[in-house]
């Protein structure tokens, strides 16, 4: 038997889903409305305090994006192939980092 290829976190996705359904669970819809972006990606005061402990802007935005993706769609940055520009902009505005 050949070696089994695994994708981080992919083993947590139910095996009864077809490949398209599995793929959908690791993606952020590119057509999210402003309201949906605000609902899923607005940080609490405590989350902003945690993010702002990072000194450099690159560390703050990186940490903020990872935290946001854990909130929705509940995946890590390694599992999500692409983050829509509107989502990145909304996150960057909250942590005072240029988008």
Domain residue limits, the chain: 33-99
pLDDT in tens, 55-66: 999 999 999 999
| Residue 84 in this model has a pLDDT that exceeds 50 | yes
- Rounded CA separation 85/95 (Å): 16
pLDDT in tens, 3-25: 544 445 555 667 788 888 877 87
Region at 32 (left for phi over 0; alpha for psi -120 to 50; beta for the rest): beta
Name the average pLDDT for the chain.
87
Does the pTM surpass 0.75? The reply is yes
């Amino acid at each position: 038997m050949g070696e089994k290829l695994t994708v981080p976190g992919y083993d947590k996705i139910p095996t009864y889903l077809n490949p398209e359904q599995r793929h959908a669970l690791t993606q952020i819809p590119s057509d999210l409305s402003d309201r949906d972006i605000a609902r899923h990606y607005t940080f609490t005061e405590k989350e902003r305090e945690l993010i702002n402990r990072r000194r450099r802007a690159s560390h703050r935005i990186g940490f903020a994006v990872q935290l946001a993706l854990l909130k929705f769609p509940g995946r890590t940055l390694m599992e999500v192939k692409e983050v829509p520009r509107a989502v990145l902009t909304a996150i960057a505005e909250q942590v005072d980092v240029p988008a």
